[in-house]
Structure 1
């Protein structure tokens, strides 16, 4: 198989935050491998241990980067355990260095993964870090990503090939339209503003005969229990409803979003995100 050539660019994502030196240490390791690499950060503000959000943030930003970009995704509550460390090559031509714990879920479903290799730590590990078991982001992932991006190793030299179908996936249900009702996941919360972002695309909304200005029956549930169930108007912008009132809109990824005009929908209605959180919408009759 001909593999996509790597760019000399590494993009980091983690739940480390930036109040200590963890992120800087990953950058330093990559810089030591090849000081000509471009080192960027996607975010380090993933809620601690939240694999679902890490998976989503990857898909939110990955395709805007050029092919060959190498991503380091470290949200790893199982660090030091027997979970695998892998490098995945996506159909879009991007590389992701990450624990095999579900962080590849959204990318696998929405873009596709063509190859996965397990990181052979005997070769691809920071020198003299063998006794460290709890900072694979620095010792394994940043080091391997930099060697890959810098051309020190090829994708084949990362380690043995794995069956793509064997990677760990979270419970992500694809959006579907049946009998005029669309079902989907609550993918993420726009945390700064409290808006809800679903995985229901605009194309299914149109297929269901829902247009701007229409009232839409919205049901949000967690593990089968309804948390929110009211009709909302599909609006082009937030000002089409009064301040503090809820609405449905199409977000920047062209998926269905739910918000309060100048308010925090998630906090007011106690909505969260991840496995078990579902949304159903249907044109109000």
Structure 2
């Protein structure tokens, strides 16, 4: 009797544990689908993607990362994935569609990350930041002819709907296993763009402006918090900041390192540690990128040097 009770409790526990999740090939899928595009929300493109996903599985939980990536900006799409992916449970499927090469010979791929999340996207550099900073466990090429929305074979310009979200929904809902999406691709064949690593010595730190905090205009660099720990930079300490575009100086000033924007008066610049634990540069109650016309990418570099505080 005790054994039967224990087995019954175990069965009920397993049902509760897997409620809302789908098993496929022994793998628990999170049933979460997260979408990112450069489509915007002014027409029906994103809505059509939702419709395809719900046709595959009405019980999916669909979330938006963003649909406001600058058109064709693969770099920013790649970074926004890095900013968010690791905060989602293993089994979550991300679909990222910034695809200036749609209909060309560029590949469609599915990546299993080392954290257990999945990304379905064009093989055009979108996976660069994840490959560098998170790690890709396995990469597979999606067959765009056979693994696509039924009845869509005559359309060649909306793979976001016909290939990416269709397969993303199938994977997230457990209707298809990751291994069934296509053949394995060597990670060395993944298309990436160059990333410039930050550098530090006793007197100088150099890095790049990876992205902006769009709403508020703060600059997010690739300089890690560990560099400031190595220098033993304290809150309230000033550093000389120089920003270059293609080696041409675009900004120079001494800036205080603060815990947050509130450490300085309105309209004053501040160095801080951002939400991904890299060095940021902002203005209290204003936009640093807007005021000083600063952009992002490897051509925008930042240099920090020590100064003697009075």
TM-score (norm. length: structure 2): 0.88
Q: Which residue pairs with 2:175 in the alignment? A: 152
Distance change (3 Å), C-alpha of 1:166 and 1:114: same
The yes-or-no answer on 1:280 pairing with 2:306 is no
Q: Which residue pairs with 1:202 in the alignment? A: 225
Shift of 1:86: 0.3
Secondary structure of the residue that 1:160 maps to in structure 2? strand
Q: Which residue pairs with 1:55 in the alignment? A: 78
The yes-or-no answer on 1:21 pairing with 2:47 is no
Paired residues in the alignment total 284
Whichever structure has more helix as a proportion of its residues is 2
Structure 2 residues without counterparts, runs of 5 or longer = 1-24
Q: Which residue pairs with 2:111 in the alignment? A: 88
1:7-46 equivalence runs, <5 A? 7-46=30-69
Q: Is the Cα–Cα contact under 8 Å of residues 198 and 223 in structure 2 kept in the other structure?
A: yes
Shift of 1:266: 0.5
Shift of 1:79: 0.9
Shift of 1:174: 2.4
Partners of 1:154 and 1:237 in 2: CA distance: 44
Partners of 1:101 and 1:248 in 2: CA distance: 33
Partners of 2:236 and 2:178 in 1: CA distance: 50
Q: Is the Cα–Cα contact under 8 Å of residues 71 and 95 in structure 1 kept in the other structure?
A: yes
Shift of 1:3: 9.0
Partners of 1:61 and 1:256 in 2: CA distance: 17
Shift of 1:190: 0.9
Q: Is the Cα–Cα contact under 8 Å of residues 209 and 283 in structure 1 kept in the other structure?
A: no
CA RMSD across the alignment: 1.5
Partners of 2:289 and 2:149 in 1: CA distance: 42
Shift of 1:169: 1.3
Q: Which residue pairs with 2:135 in the alignment? A: 112
Q: Is the Cα–Cα contact under 8 Å of residues 194 and 263 in structure 1 kept in the other structure?
A: yes
CA deviations on 1:75-126 (whole Å, 9 max, x unpaired) are 1111111111100111111100000111111111110111110001232101
List, as ranges, runs of 4+ consecutive aligned residues in structure 1 with deviation greater than 6 Å: none
Partners of 2:207 and 2:124 in 1: CA distance: 22
Shift of 1:134: 0.8
1:108-187 equivalence runs, <5 A? 108-187=131-210
Shift of 1:70: 0.3
The yes-or-no answer on 1:192 pairing with 2:202 is no
CA deviations on 1:35-80 (whole Å, 9 max, x unpaired) are 1211111111111111111111111111111011000000111111
Q: Is the Cα–Cα contact under 8 Å of residues 111 and 136 in structure 2 kept in the other structure?
A: yes
The yes-or-no answer on 1:254 pairing with 2:277 is yes
Q: Is the Cα–Cα contact under 8 Å of residues 196 and 298 in structure 2 kept in the other structure?
A: no
Q: Which residue pairs with 1:263 in the alignment? A: 286
Shift of 1:127: 1.0
Q: Is the Cα–Cα contact under 8 Å of residues 177 and 208 in structure 1 kept in the other structure?
A: no
Mean CA deviation greater in 24-33 or 210-219: 210-219
Mean CA deviation greater in 69-78 or 117-126: 117-126
Shift of 1:203: 1.4
TM-score (norm. length: structure 1): 0.95
Mean CA deviation greater in 245-254 or 55-64: 245-254
Shift of 1:5: 4.1
Distance change (3 Å), C-alpha of 1:166 and 1:3: farther
Q: Is the Cα–Cα contact under 8 Å of residues 70 and 145 in structure 1 kept in the other structure?
A: yes
Q: Is the Cα–Cα contact under 8 Å of residues 268 and 283 in structure 2 kept in the other structure?
A: yes
Partners of 1:110 and 1:28 in 2: CA distance: 33
